[in-house]
Structure 1
Amino acid sequence: MSQEKLSDVLASQAEAFGVPGAAVGVLLGGREIYASHGVTSVANPQPVDEKTLFHLASVSKTFTATALMRLVAEGKVHLDAPVRRYVPELELGDERAAERITVLNLLNHTAGLDWNLIDDGKGDRSLAGLVAKLPELPLIAPPGARASYSQAGYDLAGRIVEKVTDLPFEQAMAALVLEPVGLADTVYGLAEVMVRKFAVGHNRGDDGELHVARPWGAFKEGARGDNPGGGLASSVSDLLRWARFQLGDGEGVLPESALRRMRERTVGLRASTLGEGFGICWFLHDLDGVHAIGHGGSGNGQFAELLIVPERDFAVVSLANAGPDGYPLNQSVVKWTLEHYLGIVQRTPEPVPYDERQAAPVVGRYEIDAMNLDIATDGTRLTLAVGIKPEIRAASDEEMPPDYPAAAIGFLPGDGDEYIVTEGGLEGQRGYFSRDDDGTIVGVDLAGRLFGRTTKAN
């Protein structure tokens, strides 16, 4: 395990992708090594190191799920119980769904909830306030019918933690997980971030230049409603400690059997770069016959990736402070570490040649509550573009991450519904088109989320 070699790889990848600051940690057989590159901010540059905090975004969900599993182990929460047992005020647009959604449905993204509620910056921005707004959230499937990644679902899970412990979510998380594991630099809220060294996010403007992203991560004034699903900040050193805990026996937090249960498959995922299925929160990966668990996160100009290979006592963390290029940087670093340290080679599937007859039926617009996804063709290639809805940008007084412009996608061999993105900031992402009983294309999955079709090509 050469720290120098890891540093060289990180530096070359950061420079290739134009990422100002990144940090990587690797755990293998009980030994840790770190590599850092670049600066915390192009506006106020300080060197990045293994103690620098980055916004974890959705990697935060692994902490929320572990806290809930502790409550399960203590008999205070039951995975198969309806959420209303713990949050009786829960209302949804469909009363039958509100009655049926279980705690496990939230933890493995099978609740049928759309991605998230749009934060308009008004009203109660606590978890209680989020729950009060859930009747506005679209439902994309009956509870238990399928997996579709939902930020709102995890925020609702955080409300369960609050209700059961009778503590604010952040205090409950400190007592249940963060303090027992010894994660002194894994924190919620700007007040905690600001007293530590931290990296700010960056986005690339239309002129190609990087600028500091505002607001910092998910830490908007007075907003706590997204903390369970994406509110943590942490460092690579703390995240390797977190990985050690996940590889251990759960001492001080929950039984080893509960940790192992989180790694067991609860629902499958089709054609997803994120994994072959969900355990309890964790994405499950089959790396050429080797089982792994992981989770990624994307914030405003920051990206995080955590992958753990239990049977090899291995973990890798990669954090980067630029969007969208932080994502492919993290993926390339993780891929290199798997090959270099474990001999696992991840191969990208090759798409079939473009066929207009195959392309035409999928062209159109697809949506979730916050974003539009457009599939188009010019007669020679099929493209995918995804971005925040213009009306949401116009209504917000805060900067939002840039859109992903049209990038080529290709169909994969098989039944003709699976695809892969072959260029741009989403390069390597896989997904599939879904059909109704008549065979009509009605949706597309990207990054574990179902986008419903709203318009078709003329």
Structure 2
Amino acid sequence: MESGHEEHPQASSGLPRRAVLGAAAGVAVAATGAAAGCSLFRSTPPRDDVDRLFGELDDKIEKEMQAHAIPGAAVGVWYKGREHVRGFGVTNVDNPEPVDGDTLFRIASTTKPFTGTAVMRLVDAGKLDLDATVRTYLPDFAVADPTVSAGVTLRELLNHASGWLGDYFQDFGRGEDALTRFVAGMARLPQLSSRGGLFAYNNSAIDVAGRVLEKVTGSTYEQAIENLLLDPLELHRTRFFTDELVGYRFAAPHKMVNGQAAFDPSMWYLPRSGDPDGGLISSARDQLTFARFHLGDGSAPNGTRILSPGMLREMRVVSGPGGTLAVELNGMGVTWALRPTDQRVPVVQHGGDVPGQHSGFFVVPDRDVAFTVLTNSESGTRLTSALCVDDWVLKRFAGISNLPATPRTLSASQLAPYEGRYVAQVIEGDGTLRDFHTRLTADKGRLRYRVLSPQDQPIDPGPGDTDALAFYRDDYVLTLDVDGTPRGSRADFIRGSTGQVVWFRLGGRLNRKLIA
């Protein structure tokens, strides 16, 4: 059955869905939420230092937008009892309208914490058990490995530890059965690592959790999220379908052409089957409201209890393995990436990337700080990285910083174990399994990073692309631009039982080492 929902008026369908990735993800969590037991939906009188910091942030955003040709962005900050929500630039270079705090963007993978929070509402109500198997709720669930199919738990879906291929983007249309058909199609997904053994970013696992929500609530996933979260939290500008947002202003997606942003309507389309992992449309203001809910005691803005404080805290407890996802991770909670800092103050983070729209999102419970930023171009990753992967915002608003990472120069013999060809797999929108190959070679004390073409030729990086990897501690690297400048992102290598390098984890994805 068709849903009856319309796509963005400037969108076109038929393109394969690309990876929805939390580019700003990863953060270590506290078991205590700031201001537990009281409402955070209030403000305090203005302070000069607060206004100064908000002004510095605005200047930073405008500078980065100009440097990287980002047409539009919106930001939301909660700091010292005050909200700062505003927009920058324009919605569309072809039909420019000003961006403000209520302009709508795709938030991509920041949808995942909404899915996780909705699951926790049902756990709180006794309708779901995080440690029950998926087959408790979906008896026919299967991936390629029969043992994993029978044993994987709801918690392992939500902390990215199921171990199967996660970038499965086959498009099953706009009907209400899209997610059902998608999950049935997962029987082909190969197991990359042992269940519970490694963190590997997994979109398809979150989609299974969305299907569990459908089964337990007896509604579509989208309606379940509306009923469980969006309406109770009064997030009226946060929805999955554009025909529910008529009359609001949208930020259009842009690609980069010769260093300039160009509107590309095809970038808007996403398959409905991916809604649980990355389908939400929202505004900076609504995102900040969601963030403040997670800083609070589980109450909605009107005081209604939505989730118990214990369930909020459980979402922020490390329950899955760590690694890297742009930043280092202590581990994963329930859809939250848990990021360590040098001061041992935990950060709870996510972010999202789809073609033409990139966002970042984090909260620091111990400091009562929240931050979100939304952008409308491929170059928006430079802004989200500067604000959510680098620690520029964390230092100023929370007084904390990233774990130290000083690039090292290694000898050829030290780099040799990491050299070779690596492969990652993606199932495209049309169902085709595609291999993506990269090659790492030693060069001047670092690893040269090259994506390989279908003709097995190295592709030179463009502006802002990764050119090289510099080690800063054993098995952990910083990504570098063509001029040698660190891009802010971190990645790591994973060794097997005999000590050999088996995987290169970049963007949370596992790239298997094939040959030296």
> TM-score under structure 1 normalisation?
0.89
**Structure 2 equivalent of residue 398 of structure 1:** none
Residue 369 (structure 2) aligns with: 314
The residue type paired with residue 245 of structure 1 is: F
Aligned to 2:488: 428
* Structure 1 pair 72–347 and aligned structure 2 pair: CA distance change class (3 A): closer
Aligned to 1:265: 318
Counterpart for residue 210 of structure 1: 261
Alignment of 1:242-321 (within 5 A): 242-251=290-299, 252-272=305-325, 273=327, 275-287=329-341, 288-321=343-376
Residues 190-243 of structure 1 show CA distances to partners (whole Å, capped at 9, x for unaligned) of: 3235542111221213x33322234344x34xx310000000011110011001
Aligned mates of 1:341, 1:141 — CA distance in 2: 38
Q: Decide whether the 8 Å contact of 1:385 with 1:404 is kept in 2.
A: no
**Alpha-carbon distance between aligned partners in 1 of 2:317 and 2:442, rounded to the nearest angstrom:** 44
Judged with a 3 Å threshold, the aligned counterparts in structure 2 of structure 1 residues 75 and 385 are, in CA distance, closer, same or farther, namely farther
Superposed displacement of residue 348, structure 1: 5.4
CA contact (8 A) 1:213 1:300 kept: no
Residues in 2 aligned to 1:239 and 1:298: alpha-carbon distance in whole angstroms? 16
Q: Deviations over 1:100-131 (max 9, x none)?
A: 00000001011112122132567987110111
1:21-420 alignment runs, 5 A limit: 21-119=72-170, 126-193=178-245, 195-205=247-257, 207-217=258-268, 219-220=269-270, 223-251=271-299, 252-272=305-325, 273=327, 275-287=329-341, 288-323=343-378, 325-334=379-388, 335-346=391-402, 349-370=405-426, 372-377=436-441, 379-380=443-444, 381-385=446-450, 405-413=465-473, 415=474, 417-420=475-478
* Equivalent residues of 1:435, 1:442 under 8 A apart: yes
Hey, which bits of structure 1, 4+ residues long, moved more than 4 A?
Answer: 120-125, 402-406
Distance in 1, matches of 2:64 and 2:100, equals 17
The whole-number CA distance in structure 1 between the counterparts of 2:272 and 2:173 is: 13
Asked if the contact 1:348/1:428 (under 8 Å) is kept, the reply is no
Percent identity of paired positions between Structure 1 and Structure 2: 35
What CA deviation, in whole Å up to 9, does each residue of 1:12-36 have, x standing for no partner?
A: 1211222111111110133101232
What is the TM-score of this pair, normalised by structure 2?
0.79
AA in 2 matched with 1:258: M
Count of residue pairs brought into register by the alignment: 438
Give ranges in structure 2 of 5+ residues lacking alignment. 1-49, 300-304, 427-434, 456-461
Alpha-carbon separation, structure 2, partners of 1:290 and 1:193 = 38
Is 1:5–2:56 an aligned residue pair?
yes
Name the counterpart of 1:452. 512
Q: Is the 8 A contact 2:196 2:321 kept in 1?
A: no
Deviates more, 1:264-273 or 1:109-118: 264-273
Contact (CA 8 Å) 1:386, 1:404: kept in 2 or not? no
Separation of aligned partners in 2, 1:423 and 1:348 = 19
Deviations 1:337-385 (A, max 9, x none): 3222233244651121142223333223322322625133364342224
- 1:448 corresponds to which letter in structure 2? G
Residues 31-52 of structure 1 deviation map (CA, whole Å, 9 limit, x = unaligned): 1012321111112211111001
Q: Secondary structure of the residue that 1:66 maps to in structure 2? A: helix
- Report SS of the residue matched to 2:272: coil
Distance in 1 (alpha carbons) for counterparts of 2:246 and 2:418? 47
- Judged with a 3 Å threshold, the aligned counterparts in structure 2 of structure 1 residues 122 and 170 are, in CA distance, closer, same or farther, namely closer
For 1:399-435, what per-residue CA distance to the aligned partner results, in whole angstroms no more than 9, with x for missing partners?
xxx998551111223x3x2211122698222122122
Other structure's SS at 1:177 match: helix
